[in-house]
């Protein structure tokens, strides 16, 4: 995967991918890197990462193109569930918080994944970097910072257990990742996302709204303030007492007659009587047209 990063236009420009010589477990197929015929590297035609071939025995992942995925589907479907060692997993880079379920790599697979399957943390991080994801779970924060070569304690200020610090995959990993996300997201503003915070050096914490679960927001116990509830109840009482009077006010109007007495009449009936005058009179229009025709013939 890091070799594939090195061969991109951005990698060629920076020449800073230093992890390309390290032992890798996430690969990119040659067909996946081929899109259009151009004279040199062009990052405007990068494929999105949607299909991952995963080996459970060797714990090795391979990003494949949609054409390769089509060829793999019938082969994998002929394999029984008990004997399956490889799975074709569907993936999409989370660019919103509601897409975080793709991070676990268990959304859909051919054949189906075992119930005990749990995607390794390194796979989620490396795949997220290459695919250009913007959102991640809080438990991945330390691993991401370790890939960038930044001690988490310097950011968090706590003394908890930290992941092993790895060799940064680039000389200036945050600068490279910021430009890489700009390429992957094709101009989308991402600085107000978790990855945007990391690439711009802003601190993150577990209680940040980025990491609050969507279920808590959607299914949470929503209660109105007591003062607002009492105000709504008072408004409902007023409407229930005076609702009929307000309704009658616009239906009935009263005027003073010639003898000085009040005369009530239905406003709705008056509207229907005047409704004919609102639009043109069809009969008069026809007669006028006939007259104009007679004048033309004359």
Contact (CB, 8 A) for 123 and 106: no
Summarised one tens digit per residue, pLDDT across range 148-198 is 888 776 444 444 455 566 677 878 889 999 999 999 998 888 989 999 999
Q: How confident is the model at residue 285 (pLDDT cuts 50, 70, 90)?
A: very low
Q: Give the pLDDT score at 153.
A: 60
Q: How confident is the model at residue 19 (pLDDT cuts 50, 70, 90)?
A: confident
Q: Give the pLDDT score at 164.
A: 61
Distance (Å, whole) CA 194 – CA 200: 10
Percent of the residues in the chain that have a pLDDT greater than 90, as a whole number: 36
Contact (CB, 8 A) for 57 and 24: no
Q: Give the pLDDT score at 287.
A: 54
Return all residues near 2 (Cβ < 8 A) that are at least 6 apart: 17, 19, 20, 22, 24, 169
Percent of the residues in the chain that have a pLDDT greater than 70, as a whole number: 64
Q: What is the mean pLDDT of residues 261-285?
A: 49
Summarised one tens digit per residue, pLDDT across range 223-268 is 444 444 444 445 545 544 454 444 444 444 555 555 555 554 554 4
Q: Give the pLDDT score at 219.
A: 47
- Cis status of the peptide bond prior to 154, with omega within 30 of 0: no
Summarised one tens digit per residue, pLDDT across range 99-137 is 999 999 999 999 989 888 999 999 999 999 999 999 999
Q: Give the pLDDT score at 162.
A: 57
Beta strand 60-64 pairing with 26-28 = parallel
Q: Give the pLDDT score at 203.
A: 87
Q: What is the mean pLDDT of residues 81-89?
A: 84
């Amino acid at each position: 995967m890091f070799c594939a990063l090195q061969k991109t236009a951005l990698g060629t420009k920076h020449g800073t991918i230093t992890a390309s010589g390290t032992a890798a477990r996430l690969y990119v197929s040659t067909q996946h890197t081929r899109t259009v015929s151009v004279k040199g590297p062009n990052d405007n035609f990068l494929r999105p990462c949607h299909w991952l071939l995963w080996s459970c025995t060797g714990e090795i992942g391979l990003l494949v193109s949609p054409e390769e995925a089509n060829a793999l589907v019938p082969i994998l479907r002929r394999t029984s569930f008990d004997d399956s060692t490889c799975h074709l997993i569907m993936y999409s880079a989370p660019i919103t918080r509601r897409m975080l379920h793709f991070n676990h790599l268990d959304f859909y697979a051919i054949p189906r994944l075992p119930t005990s399957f749990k995607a390794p943390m390194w796979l989620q991080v490396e795949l997220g970097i290459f695919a250009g994801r913007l959102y991640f779970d809080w438990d991945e924060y330390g691993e991401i910072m370790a890939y960038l070569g930044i001690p988490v304690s310097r950011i968090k200020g706590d003394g908890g257990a930290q992941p092993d610090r790895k060799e940064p995959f680039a000389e200036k990993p945050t600068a490279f990742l910021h430009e890489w996300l700009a390429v992957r997201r094709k101009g989308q503003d991402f600085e107000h996302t978790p990855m945007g915070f990391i690439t711009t050096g802003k601190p993150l914490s577990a209680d940040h709204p980025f990491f609050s679960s969507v279920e808590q927001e959607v299914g949470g116990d929503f209660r109105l303030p007591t003062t607002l509830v009492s105000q709504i109840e008072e408004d409902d009482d007023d409407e229930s007492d005076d609702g009929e009077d307000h309704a009658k006010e616009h239906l009935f109007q009263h005027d003073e007659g010639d003898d000085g007495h009040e005369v009530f009449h239905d406003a709705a009936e008056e509207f229907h009587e005047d409704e004919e005058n609102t639009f043109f009179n069809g009969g008069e229009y026809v007669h006028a047209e006939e007259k104009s025709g007679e004048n033309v013939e004359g």
